[in-house]
Amino acid sequence: MKPSVVLYKKLPEDLRTKLDEHFTVTEINGLTPETLSQHAAAFQQAEGILGSGGKIDAEFLAKAPKLRAASSVSVGVDNFDIAALNDRGVALMHTPTVLTETVADTMMALVLAAARRVTEVAERVKAGEWQSSIGADWFGIDVHHKKLGILGMGRIGLALAQRANLGFSMPILYNARKHHEEAEQRFGATWCDLDTLLRESDFLCISLPLTNETHHLIGREQLAKMKHSAVLINAGRGPVIDEEALIAALKDGTIHAAGLDVFEKEPLPVDSPLLTLPNVVALPHVGSATHETRYGMARDAVDNLIAALSGKVEKNCVNPQVIIASRQG
């Protein structure tokens, strides 16, 4: 008998077919308290789940007593209680490699858009304006040759360093727990402590996962250390920045501008000042949202679930100790 799984995200047709070949699939419309209670019987039987979003914690796991693997169509796994998964021996799979270049492209797009005011100026053109002889009202700031700071040097940070350094002649500073030899050798990146990174960066790009340690890592005190001319970019997870402090800093000129793909609360509330401040470029959490990359993420998530439920995991597992324990048991 094929294992039962719950699918809570739409898949491209060919991938859905592949999933059906391996599993008995119940497809539901997102993972919410409502869908959870509507489809309680499916969760009772499910050995695997696949999708993105939702909250997977001990309370959820109590409703899915047979669960052995969760496959997330994302790199970030902050919506999972990993300790609870480990306690229950549930493998957590994600898609860390396939989206790297695309998210780095998004971060570079935010750097350029915030510096050159691309969205703001484009809106003015659409409204019928054209550059007048007074001109300076339309000016932005240079990107090339400025110092780009990277907070968190993982795969995405490295891909951003490559773009900024080789493409835009930007010196790279970074802060991470460990030195990143490849970033240093290939892109001349210099490790520095957080205070130095805040003080020196012209563009400070955050590429960190959300954990207890990174929650509100950037608050009022940190923003105050940045240059008044600095631009802050975040395409990791919103709560890494204290958003109230950021709004104040953008209003009073503590920093120059921000380019944000992620927010403390998503969707961003329609009354958020971030939607009206002229020095903010806001995107709706679309860092990985290209046709090619979203397909690749879905494909990897399907392969990850097949591997996890057949005990053949080789990569993309957040808690491989669970797999090892189940092989031994």
Contacts with ligand GLV by CB under 6 A lie at 74-76, 99, 103, 235, 285-289
Residue 129 Cα distances to 122, 278, 318, angstroms: 9, 17, 51
Name, in order, each residue with C-beta under 8 angstroms of 17's C-beta and a sequence gap of 6 or more: none
Task: Reply yes or no on whether 237 is catalytic.
Answer: yes
Helix (H) or strand (E) holding 282: strand 280-282
- CA 280 to CA 232: how far, in whole Å? 10
Task: Please report how close the Cβ of residue 289 comes to ligand GLV at its closest, in angstroms.
Answer: 5
Task: Reply yes or no on whether 129 is catalytic.
Answer: no
Task: Please report how close the Cβ of residue 315 comes to ligand GLV at its closest, in angstroms.
Answer: 16
Task: Please report how close the Cβ of residue 236 comes to ligand GLV at its closest, in angstroms.
Answer: 8
Residue closer to ligand GLV (CB basis): 7 or 226? 7
Count CB neighbours of 180 within 10 A.
Answer: 20
Residue closer to ligand GLV (CB basis): 9 or 117? 9
Task: Please report how close the Cβ of residue 255 comes to ligand GLV at its closest, in angstroms.
Answer: 22
From the list 39, 68, 237, 256, the catalytic residue is 237
Q: Which residue lies nearest ligand GLV, judged by its C-beta?
A: 287
Whether residue 113 contacts residue 280, with contact meaning beta carbons closer than 8 Å, is answered with no
Phi, psi of 269 (to 5 degrees): -55, 140
- CA 282 to CA 269: how far, in whole Å? 12
Residue closer to ligand GLV (CB basis): 65 or 284? 284
Residue closer to ligand GLV (CB basis): 76 or 320? 76
Task: Reply yes or no on whether 266 is catalytic.
Answer: yes
From the list 123, 213, 266, 292, the catalytic residue is 266
**Catalytic center residues:** 237, 266, 285
